[in-house]
Amino acid sequence: MGVTLAILNVRLVCPVGGEKRGDLLVRDGTITAVGVIDLPADADRIDGGGMVLAPAIVDLGVFAIDRAACRAGGIVRVGLVPDGSPVLDDPGIVQRAALIGKPDLWIHPISAATRGLAGTDLAEMAVCRSAGARAVGTGNRWIADSGVMRRVLAYANDLGIVVVTHAEDGGLIAGAVATEGETATRLGLPAAPAIAEALAIARDLMLAEDTGAAIHIRQVTTAAGFDLVRAAKRRGVRVTCGITPAHLHLSDIAMSDFRTFAHLSPPLRAESDRQAARSAVADGTIDVIASGHDPRSAEEKRLPFADSSAGMSGAETLLPLAAMLVRDGLLSLPALFALLARNPARVLGLDTGTLVSGQPADLLLFDPDAPWRIDTSMMRASAGNTPFDGLPVQGRVLRLWKGGREIS
């Protein structure tokens, strides 16, 4: 007989079932009952103390596998971007990536759309898919050749998988570390116009519409970009898009003291774009909130701003930073977990991310009101660089389960 787990006295928060008080039953790693349950005599019982029980987070678009940070952040599945050494363009490399995190952290590789992410020759997408890739992607780069990008989209459409893209026109952003505007000018930083994003999005959406392919734009951060995505969705283009908390809570003013923790890719935008991003969350234009977890060492950040590496550690702060949108009245808790769990799972073709009977018992128990302060020196990530250092937040992950097995 399999192991039975009963989690009692919780606020059940489900992207499809809404929010209610009740209990949840798990047998053999699968959710079997939600709400009012018949409690088996052999069940291991956990009192949730009235805390929130929600689907564990599916973090779409991480650059590094960081088990400790994911555990602290309530993340049990990650979509691993193809950037890295080696690039995820070989089936053997993809297969190894898909296996190294189990059983606690399931890694879903996004294999490279082109060999070496060079943007010229198509990678072996079909073979990589058979090896465990859940999507194909351009990495943290843009494929400049429209002919190559069209072939990528057409091939992925034939395979039935989504193409995950980075939206910045490479011809405009070369050498830039900031967005053109008052802040970049005052600091003397090499900058690119915000329209670099909209140009890339427009081209890729037109190609996706032409080929019928599904496309996920990993980060959209500008008002013009959101307008393009909205219009494409209305036309029936199979497009989804994501964002990170940094572009929802920070503008380029955060770079004012040359803080390299605020050196991100894409760079922070103007306040008007940040407000547009918040509106895009509220109206459903944005489908996914992800951490963009890309920890950088002190050596990579303790440099002049233009010479430092772009990236931030985001896995363990994703939930409390995203939960700020609920307190601001932009989202309900169930809608938040659609953005954190159900929708990223759907992009990757995974049947998880809700508290529905029959789904994997990937669960997190958290206290949405627990206060704490983000402190880079206390972070569990391999590097604690975050532009939110010192920020007071609310929301702590208390317990975490993957397939009904608690992750300690």
5 strand-pairing partners: 26, 44
Say what the pTM is: 0.96
- The string of pLDDT tens digits covering residues 366-387 is 999 999 999 999 999 888 899 9
Is it the case that residue 1 has pLDDT exceeding 50?
no
pLDDT at res. 336: 98
Residues 358-367 have a mean pLDDT of 98
Q: Give me the mean pLDDT over the 346-363 stretch.
A: 97
- Looking at residue 339, what is its pLDDT? 98
3-state SS, residue 93: helix
Q: What is the DSSP string of 314-352?
A: -GGGHHHHHHHHHHTTS--HHHHHIIIIIHHHHHTT-S-
CATH numbers and ranges of domains, the chain:
55-353+368-392 (3.20.20.140)
Predicted confidence at residue 2, as pLDDT, reads: 67
Alpha carbons 168 and 198: distance in angstroms, whole number: 8
Q: Between helices 146-159 and 195-211, what is the axis angle to 10°?
A: 50
Report the b/e string of 298-317 with b at 16+ CB within 10 A. Answer: eebbeeebbebebbbbbbbb
The percent of residues in the chain predicted with pLDDT above 90, rounded, is 95
Residue keyed to tokens 């069209």 = 150
* 8 A C-beta contact, residue 394 and residue 373: no
Q: What are the tens digits of pLDDT across the range 162-187?
A: 999 999 999 999 999 999 999 999 99
Share the mean pLDDT of the chain. 96
